[in-house]
């Protein structure tokens, strides 16, 4: 699927994640399933960013968690560099995690408040038994420097920092093991616009400098557009449209994608007049269709 | 006379760490039937401004320490609580960001709407219920008659915000203050709620203040825009003028920091990030509050010594900066603009 014919870094086929709905007073029985992810397939080539965009409940984050095996998929295949992740044992998966990391949405709850910045960033190195204590300390300072966080603050605690600074700590931790793929799960949605721009620029710089591959998950269509080479639009657990970012945004084929794009408020009062008229039309069409 | 006239309003929070100057001398007015957009990032004082107008700030620790709020010529900051209660809901209504927490989860939707109606009007339960059904229909909630006896948890986020709007409209207010009304909603739901607010504002001939962090939302919903930074108004202009000719370095930076959904070279390009972060409002910079982050400030010491005044740079366009875009070296003066 990738342009140069090489095998993709990540290949997802027919991925499904169903959550059981249980009912019953004494004996709980599964009465139904919520199909959070329902037959999703895509490839991500090395060094590219695939954007995964959709509204709440579309299954985009669940897809990300399944790829990292943080949730066990109900069915389907996830191949990373040709290795099937869904059949790996616990220890094998642990080793595989060096290559696959995640940056979470909320820099307030995803960092342990009782650990210092240095310990948070250095923990993955300890878990994987990398380097001596001294090496690790040097590596932590290097990582913090790379993400634009003052390395002399390694002995401070997360609560002393703003959201943007905390997200830098989270990114430094994700980089600690020099992964190939990073799943970014709404990495800037908790941040103000001016800080959001700093973090998006940082993620772009890191990708260029370290040849990272991103699966970039977000609900903000403009944010996803600015980060992605290709974009997949999700709705109700399925990918309704996937393609090069430019094509999907300028010539959307699926009615849901069209409605979604038309709904975005743009910072241009003249363009907004047209967009308002168009989105009303599309909403009626979608409601009737 | 403007419907609402806020002048030199100051709301400070008296905390153990010191006095937080959350709103520090802001002035603006809202004309009948117009929509004012107040835009700014977290902590800039936009919500505290709204709460101060409504008399809803938590006292203590907050206190209005100066300025006035005139609504139809009546001073609200000194109004006794009893009279404020009559005014709230009836003359000025407010909807909040989070429709999940603004409704009482233990009361039926119908009860919550009729209670507002009966608080302000002397009508029978039966009539109030009839009015509630009309209101739910007006905010386009399907099967309004059946939904009246549902509890809030049976409604989606967008539907709950519609219920909140119905309650806000129940007494035909002259001014509706919407504080981040669509921030918690998905983008397609946001669009339909904004369309609804737009229609209702026309039909009811209301004035509206829409408070948001989203430049796109004000671009579509507002007639006039107020940009706030660190407790102050830094720029104020009619919507087209503001987006065509932003003057304040902060407004320019905010627009530059926004990712675009269409255009060339988006993937390769970088966003114009604003270095640093907003100041601490206990010890704000002594002069221009944006100076520490401003790309033009270093050239001129005045920024660190004098607080720039909010001045009218063109008719109807106000800016608080020593370095507005049109006065920088090599700047082209915008032509053909006027009030």
Cβ atoms of A272 and A280 within 8 Å: the answer is: no
Token duo for residue B329: 């070296």
pLDDT for the residue B304: 81
CA distances in angstroms from B227 to A15, A143, B38, B235, listed in the order given: 46, 37, 6, 5
Across the interface, do A283 and B192 touch by the CB < 8 Å criterion?
Answer: yes
Across the interface, do A222 and B187 touch by the CB < 8 Å criterion?
Answer: no
**Over residues B177-191, mean pLDDT:** 89
**H-helix or E-strand containing A239?**
strand A238-244
Which of B 62-121 lie inside 8 A of A, CB atoms? Answer: none
Closest residue in chain B to residue A279, using alpha carbons only: B191
B329 inside 8 A of chain A by CB: no
Token duo for residue B245: 């000719």
Q: Give the orientation angle of helix A117-127 with respect to helix A133-146, to 10 degrees.
A: 120
Q: What is the largest CA-CA distance in chain A?
A: 65
pLDDT for the residue A16: 96
Q: What is the CA radius of gyration of chain B?
A: 21
Q: Give the closest-approach CA distance of B190 to chain A in angstroms.
A: 8
Q: Give the closest-approach CA distance of A127 to chain B in angstroms.
A: 34
Provide, as residue numbers in chain A, all residues whose Cβ is less than 8 Å from the Cβ of B255: 267
Cβ atoms of A179 and A98 within 8 Å: the answer is: yes
Across the interface, do B187 and A264 touch by the CB < 8 Å criterion?
Answer: yes
pLDDT for the residue A1: 46
> Closest Cα partner for A194 from B210, B255, B263, B291?
B255
pLDDT for the residue B333: 52
Q: Give the closest-approach CA distance of B66 to chain A in angstroms.
A: 29
> Percent of chain A beyond pLDDT 90?
79
pLDDT digit string (tens) for B219-264?
A: 999 999 999 999 999 999 999 999 999 999 999 999 989 998 888 8
Closest residue in chain B to residue A269, using alpha carbons only: B219
Suggest the residue from B220, B252, B255 to mutate for an interface test with chain A (most A CBs closer than 10 A). Answer: B220
List of E strands, A82-221: 83-84, 100-103, 181-185, 213-218
A287 inside 8 A of chain B by CB: no
Provide, as residue numbers in chain B, all residues whose Cβ is less than 8 Å from the Cβ of A164: 277
pLDDT digit string (tens) for A215-229?
A: 999 999 999 999 999
Question: How many other CB atoms sit within 10 Å of the CB of residue B280?
Answer: 13
In this predicted structure, the answer to whether residue B337 has a pLDDT above a threshold of 50 is no
Across the interface, do B41 and A192 touch by the CB < 8 Å criterion?
Answer: yes
> Closest Cα partner for B21 from B208, B281, B319, B328?
B281
Instruction: Give me the interface pTM, i.e. the ipTM.
Output: 0.85
Q: Give the orientation angle of helix B187-204 with respect to helix A255-263, to 10 degrees.
A: 50
pLDDT for the residue A31: 82
Nearest to B259 among A55, A226, A276 (CB): A226
C-alpha–C-alpha distance, residues B111 and A52, integer Å: 42
**Over residues B89-93, mean pLDDT:** 90
Please list, in sequence order, all residues whose beta carbon lies within 8 angstroms of the beta carbon of residue A229, skipping any fewer than 6 positions away: A48, A49, A50, A244, A245, B267
pLDDT for the residue B69: 96
pTM more than 0.90 = no
A209 inside 8 A of chain B by CB: no
Which of B264-270's residues contact partners 24+ apart within 8 Å by CB, and which partners? B266/A225, B266/A226, B266/A245, B267/A225, B267/A226, B267/A227, B267/A228, B267/A229, B267/A245, B269/A226, B270/A201, B270/A204
């Amino acid at each position: 699927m990738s342009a140069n014919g090489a095998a993709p870094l990540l290949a997802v086929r027919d991925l499904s994640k169903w959550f059981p709905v249980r009912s019953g007073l004494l004996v709980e029985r599964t009465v139904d399933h919520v199909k959070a992810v329902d037959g999703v397939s895509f490839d991500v080539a090395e060094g590219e960013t695939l954007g995964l965009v959709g509204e709440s409940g579309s299954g985009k984050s669940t897809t990300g968690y399944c790829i990292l095996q943080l949730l066990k998929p109900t069915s389907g295949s996830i191949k990373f560099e040709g290795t099937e992740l869904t059949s790996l044992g616990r220890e094998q998966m642990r080793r595989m995690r060096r290559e696959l990391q995640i940056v979470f949405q909320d820099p307030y709850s995803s960092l342990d408040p009782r650990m210092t910045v240095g310990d948070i960033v250095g923990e993955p190195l300890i878990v994987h038994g990398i380097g001596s204590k001294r090496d690790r300390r040097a590596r932590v300072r290097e990582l913090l420097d790379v993400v634009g966080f003052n390395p002399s603050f390694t002995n401070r605690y997360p609560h002393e920092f703003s959201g943007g600074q905390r997200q830098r700590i989270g990114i430094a931790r994700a980089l600690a093991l020099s992964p190939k793929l990073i799943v970014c799960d709404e990495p800037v949605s908790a941040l103000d616009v001016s800080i959001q721009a700093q973090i998006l620029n940082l993620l772009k710089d890191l990708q260029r400098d370290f040849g990272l591959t991103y699966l970039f998950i977000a609900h903000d269509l403009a944010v996803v557009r600015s980060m992605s080479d290709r974009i997949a639009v999700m709705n109700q657990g399925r990918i309704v449209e996937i393609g090069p970012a430019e094509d999907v945004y300028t010539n959307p084929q699926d009615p849901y994608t069209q409605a979604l794009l038309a709904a975005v408020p743009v910072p241009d009062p003249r363009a907004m007049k047209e967009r308002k008229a168009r989105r009303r039309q599309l909403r009626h069409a979608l409601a009737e269709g | 006379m403007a419907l609402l006239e806020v002048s030199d309003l100051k709301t400070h929070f008296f905390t153990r760490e010191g006095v937080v100057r959350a709103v520090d001398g802001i002035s603006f007015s809202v004309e009948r039937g117009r929509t004012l957009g107040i835009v700014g990032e977290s902590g800039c004082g936009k919500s505290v401004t709204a709460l101060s107008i409504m008399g809803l700030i938590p006292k203590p620790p907050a206190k209005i320490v100066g300025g006035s709020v005139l609504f139809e010529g009546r001073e609200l900051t000194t109004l006794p609580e009893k009279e404020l209660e009559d005014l709230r809901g009836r003359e000025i209504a407010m909807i909040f960001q989070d429709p999940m927490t603004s409704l009482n989860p233990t009361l039926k939707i119908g009860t919550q709407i009729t209670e507002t109606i009966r608080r302000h009007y002397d009508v029978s339960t039966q009539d109030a219920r009839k009015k509630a059904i009309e209101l739910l229909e007006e905010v386009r909630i399907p099967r309004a008659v059946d939904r009246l006896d549902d509890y809030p948890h049976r409604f989606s986020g967008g539907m709950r915000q519609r219920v909140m709007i119905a309650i806000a409209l129940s007494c035909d207010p002259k001014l509706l203050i919407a504080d981040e009304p669509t921030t918690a909603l998905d983008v397609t739901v946001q669009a339909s709620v904004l369309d609804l607010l737009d229609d209702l504002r026309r039909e009811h001939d209301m004035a509206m203040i829409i408070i948001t962090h989203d430049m796109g939302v004000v671009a579509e919903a507002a007639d006039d825009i107020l940009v706030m930074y660190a407790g102050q108004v830094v720029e104020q202009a009619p919507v087209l003028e503001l987006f065509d000719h932003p003057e304040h370095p902060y407004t320019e930076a905010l627009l530059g920091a926004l990712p675009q959904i269409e255009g060339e070279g988006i993937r390769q390009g970088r966003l114009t990030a604003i270095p640093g972060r907003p100041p601490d409002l206990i010890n704000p910079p002594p002069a221009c509050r944006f100076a520490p982050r401003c790309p033009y400030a270093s050239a001129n010491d005045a920024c660190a010594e004098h607080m720039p005044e909010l001045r009218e740079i063109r008719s109807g366009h106000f800016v608080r900066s020593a370095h507005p875009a049109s006065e920088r070296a090599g700047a082209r003066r915008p032509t053909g603009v006027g009030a």
